């Protein structure tokens, strides 16, 4: 047979659409052409495939070789198609049985020696191949990652020769297994019990976790804002399998494997304020996911919020609403998931000590205003909870830690989330204004009291709805169907910045 076809997969965001590699040998001057609009990297694969075939002891056909990667409009970059192209040439020249390629998909880059090199994004490939009930062949280095997918049929090989021996029925290839990937998922998570003092801030973390509210800590340096922030993932509900796979699929596109040991843990990403817009939201020539997508299903922590460029913060508004980010390029738009919980921290002024009882702050009134205004605006509007984190007294720091562990707090969070799911099918943090009014009804005396208080504090209509949502979460944490006045009063306490800004 002089015509062969082999299946492989492209990478398109977290999708992995099927690509058909067609190889045709015809008589004429020996040549090799690749069609299907592949990019430079695919053209380079011609040279790698030729060397790999020769170094694995095969003949490189002295024919006119035409290779077509279909469909043509898909993005095709990187060496991920090498293995499929090499097998196509071998099948078309009858060096491997073409019928053995049926029901299989192949992915992997070839070294000149014929060894198989790992590629990025194997997990999305495995998820799609499983849906189609195809057996997937991957490089050995990608085996653990591909095997995270449930019910997957993945075998791994370390060289082209191994794959051809398998296709000839001369050798079996090892079935990939997820190693010890999901054992002891909680071991490394920082525990809330380690944080001394800061009762209000800890409570705010619990509320944020329970209602999926975004949260801002405001306080002088050295009060443990970062330490508190790193405790949030540990009190969030455990990820479901589909959530974990979605989050792992994004990590899989970045070509590092250190996430594999704790792939069931919610991610915690803390990009520095000097990070570029592309690093934060994703992009580049072949658009890569940014920090906000790597935080999908977990927490994005922005320390020293006013230090981030205003432009970068503005870009975060859309994914905060939609849970995804679309990166537009001339030829294609790539979409990445980006449903993260935002946690931010800031000093109250440039020196950090505004409001300090010992008068340590040396900033002028204008400096303080300018600093706070930098963080305010549309992004701040999307943060429900603003919480002051004051310095901790020395006696508390020296005391033995006595607070609750993350595991105990997490149980309450899980129970509160279940109440929300049953009542409205989403978390309180995700309620629209209209839904908020439906599920946050107050009795008339509480309503009057609340409206009056909000008016006195000169809060906006938006802030009014945010307070109601927080009060709803407080009621859920208490196991109460109705929002009570105590919940409303506590909620008002979580708007520290509104007070600062007056
Ligand atoms: Zn200051």
Least confident of 11-20, 161-170, 412-421: 11-20
Reported as a pLDDT band with limits 50, 70 and 90, residue 502 is very low
pLDDT for 149? 87
> Measured in angstroms, how far is the CA atom of residue 299 from the centroid of ligand 1?
29
As a whole number, mean pLDDT of residues 424-437 equals 92
Region 305-316: what's the mean pLDDT? 86
Tens digit of pLDDT for each residue in 365-421? 898 888 887 776 667 778 889 998 988 777 766 666 668 899 999 999 999 999 999
Q: Compute the Cα dihedral for 244, 249, 252, 253 and give only its sign.
A: negative
**pLDDT at position 264, please?**
86
- Cα(353) to ligand 1 centroid in Å equals 5
Q: Whole-model pTM?
A: 0.89
* Contacts for 199 with CB less than 8 Å, ≥ 6 apart: none
Contacts of 499 (CB under 8 A, 6+ apart): 457
Count the Cβ atoms, other than its own, within 10 Å of residue 278.
14
pLDDT over 60 (residue 311): yes
pLDDT value for 183: 47
What's the 222 CA to ligand 1 centre distance in angstroms?
15
Domain locations along the chain:
3-182, 192-425
Q: Answer for the pair 69, 42: CB distance below 8 angstroms, yes or no.
A: yes
Distance from the alpha carbon of residue 218 to the mean position of ligand 1, in angstroms: 13
Domain 192-425 part of CATH 3.40.50.720: no
Strand (E) or helix (H) holding 70: strand 64-70
pLDDT computed for residue 1 by the predictor? 54
Q: DSSP per residue over 239-301, as a string?
A: PPHHHHHHHHHHHHTTT--TTGGGTTSPPEE---TT--HHHHHEETTTTEE-HHHHTTTSEEE
Tell how far the Cα of 370 is from the centroid of ligand 1, in angstroms. 12
Instruction: Categorize the per-residue pLDDT at 3 as very low, low, confident or very high, splitting at 50, 70 and 90.
Output: very high
Q: Give residue 321's pLDDT.
A: 86
Classify domain 3-182 by CATH number.
Answer: 3.30.230.10
Distance CA 464, CA 140 (A): 56
Give me ligand 1 centre to Cα 491, in Å. 27
Q: Is the peptide bond before 29 cis (omega within 30 degrees of 0)?
A: no
| Residue % of the chain over a pLDDT of 70 | 93
- Which pair of structure tokens corresponds to residue 88? 């196509």
In this prediction, residues 42-58 reach a mean pLDDT of: 90
Task: Report the chain's mean pLDDT, rounded to a whole number.
Answer: 88
Rounded average pLDDT over 63-69: 92
CA 467 to ligand 1 centroid distance, Å: 29
Nearest in space to 251 (alpha carbons), one of 238, 241, 261: 261
| Mean pLDDT (whole number) for 9-29 | 92
Nearest to 288 by CA among 235, 345, 244, 327: 327
pLDDT tens digits, 472-492: 999 999 999 999 999 999 999
CB 103 within 8 A of CB 71: no
pLDDT higher than 90, residue 104: yes
Alpha-carbon span 45 to 41, nearest angstrom: 6
- Please say if the pLDDT value at position 190 is more than 90: no
CA within 13 Å, CB half, 385: 34
Q: How far is residue 125's CA from residue 106's CA, in Å, rounded to a whole number?
A: 10
Report CA(396)–ligand 1 centroid distance (Å). 25
Q: Please tell me the distance from the alpha carbon of residue 241 to that of residue 343, in angstroms, as a whole number.
A: 24
Compute, in angstroms, the gap from residue 340 CA to the centroid of ligand 1: 31
* Ligand 1 midpoint to CA 501 (Å): 14
């Amino acid at each position: 047979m002089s015509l062969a076809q082999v299946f492989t997969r492209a990478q398109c965001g977290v999708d992995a659409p099927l690509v058909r590699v067609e190889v045709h040998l015809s008589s004429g001057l020996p040549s090799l052409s690749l069609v299907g609009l592949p990019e430079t990297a695919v053209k380079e694969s011609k040279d790698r495939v030729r060397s790999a075939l020769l170094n694995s002891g095969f003949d490189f056909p002295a024919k006119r070789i035409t290779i077509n990667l279909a469909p043509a409009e898909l993005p095709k970059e990187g060496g991920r198609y090498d293995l499929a192209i090499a097998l196509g040439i071998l099948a078309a020249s009858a060096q491997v049985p073409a019928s053995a390629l049926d029901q299989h998909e192949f992915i992997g880059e070839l070294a000149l020696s014929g060894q198989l090199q790992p590629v990025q994004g194997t997990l999305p490939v495995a998820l799609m191949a499983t849906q189609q009930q195809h057996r997937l062949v991957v490089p050995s280095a990608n085996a653990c990652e591909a095997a995270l997918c449930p019910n997957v049929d993945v075998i791994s090989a370390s060289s082209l020769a191994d794959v051809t021996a398998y296709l000839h029925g001369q050798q079996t290839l090892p079935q990939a297994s997820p190693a010890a990937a999901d054992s002891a998922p909680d071991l490394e998570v920082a525990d809330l019990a380690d944080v001394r003092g800061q009762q209000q801030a800890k409570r705010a973390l619990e509320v944020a976790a329970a209602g999926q509210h975004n949260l801002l800590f405001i306080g002088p340096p050295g009060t443990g804002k970062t330490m508190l922030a790193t405790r949030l993932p540990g009190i969030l509900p455990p990820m479901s399998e589909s959530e974990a796979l979605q989050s792992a699929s994004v990590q899989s596109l970045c070509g590092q494997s250190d996430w594999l040991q704790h792939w069931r843990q919610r991610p915690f990403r803390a990009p520095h304020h000097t990070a570029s817009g592309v690093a934060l939201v994703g992009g580049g020539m072949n658009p890569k996911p940014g920090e906000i997508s790597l935080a999908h299903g977990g927490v994005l922590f922005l320390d020293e919020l006013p230090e981030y460029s205003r432009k970068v913060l503005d870009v975060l508004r859309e994914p905060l609403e939609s849970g995804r980010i679309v990166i537009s390029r001339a030829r294609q738009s790539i979409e990445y998931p980006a449903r993260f919980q935002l946690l931010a921290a800031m000093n109250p002024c440039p020196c950090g000590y505004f409001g300090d009882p010992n008068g340590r702050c040396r900033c002028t009134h204008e400096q303080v205003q300018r600093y706070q205004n930098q963080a305010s605006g549309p992004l701040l509007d999307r943060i429900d909870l603003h919480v002051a984190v004051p310095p901790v007294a020395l006696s508390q720091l020296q005391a033995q830690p006595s607070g609750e562990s993350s595991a105990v707090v997490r149980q309450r969070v899980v129970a509160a989330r279940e109440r929300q799911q049953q009542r409205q099918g989403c978390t309180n943090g995700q309620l629209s204004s209209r839904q908020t009014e439906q599920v946050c009804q107050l009795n008339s005396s509480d309503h009057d009291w609340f409206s009056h208080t909000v008016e006195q504090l000169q809060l906006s209509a938006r802030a009014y709805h945010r307070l109601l949502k927080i009060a709803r979460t407080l009621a859920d944490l208490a196991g109460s169907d109705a929002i009570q006045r105590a919940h409303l009063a506590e909620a008002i306490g979580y708007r520290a910045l509104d007070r600062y800004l007056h």
